[in-house]
Structure 1
Amino acid sequence: MATTDVERLRTALSDADFPAQKDDLVRDAEQAGADGDTIRALNSIPPVEYASLDEVEQSVPFDPGPPDAETGERRRRHAKPGLSQQEKDVPEHPIVEELGENRGS
């Protein structure tokens, strides 16, 4: 099953007029230059009239994202300041935090 993400879907349907049929949405996405996965994801939705982009989002299969283990590992290795608390690294060991080094232990 083809999947996409919200950002790619919104970009593909930015010029779509609602209410719209499934075929109209696919055509709008193709004209916007959407990637193949987004087009296939739109082709997989039920053939009904959609009143808004929110209704389309409820029907389109989205990419579930990286597995939890990969997400946890990425959070432990990250060093980008200014991100939300959820995206920050796991706290350092108290000795490292206080002294700035681990002293070999």
Structure 2
Amino acid sequence: MAHGTSARDVVSALKDVDFPAGKEELAQAAVRSGASQEVVKALRAIPPEQYANREEVARSVRVDPDSDLGLSPAQRAEQAREGGRQGQSQHLRDVPKPPVEDELDR
């Protein structure tokens, strides 16, 4: 896991990529954009698939679970219960905010 890498770092390194794109193309684009070695390393560790957009890449790359997502403990528990596609980092799976938390935020 790339501890110094966040999902935002990965997405910003891919701003000039034309999707769909494969793993090697993504890693090369990150190098060209001047991304950190940690971002490039994280991209080289993703499954060798065609990615349709930056979101799919962000969900597949392994980053620190608490890096920049701002999810509650309930949402992280839901991510653990939900299945995702193979190779997708558990902590980046889409989960809705629980109704109780939504109500408390009002």
Q: Distance in 2 between matches of 1:42 and 1:12?
A: 10
Q: Superposition RMSD on alpha carbons, in Å?
A: 1.5
Q: Distance in 2 between matches of 1:53 and 1:45?
A: 13
How far is the alpha carbon of 1:65 from its aligned partner? 3.6
Structure 1 outlier segments of 4+, above 6 Å? none
Q: Distance in 2 between matches of 1:58 and 1:64?
A: 11
Task: Give the % identical residues.
Answer: 42
Q: Which residue of 1 aligns with 2:7?
A: 6
Q: Distance in 1 between matches of 2:54 and 2:34?
A: 18
Using structure 1 for the length normalisation, give the TM-score: 0.58
- Structure of greater Rg: 1
Task: Give 1:26-105 correspondences, 5 Å limit.
Answer: 26-65=27-66
Which residue identity does 1:60 align to in structure 2? V
Q: Distance in 1 between matches of 2:29 and 2:64?
A: 21
Give unmatched runs, 5+ long, in structure 1.
Answer: 67-105
Q: 3-state DSSP class of the match of 1:16?
A: coil
Which residue identity does 1:2 align to in structure 2? A
Aligned residues: 66
Q: Pick 1 or 2: higher relative contact order, CA cutoff 8 A, min separation 6.
A: 2
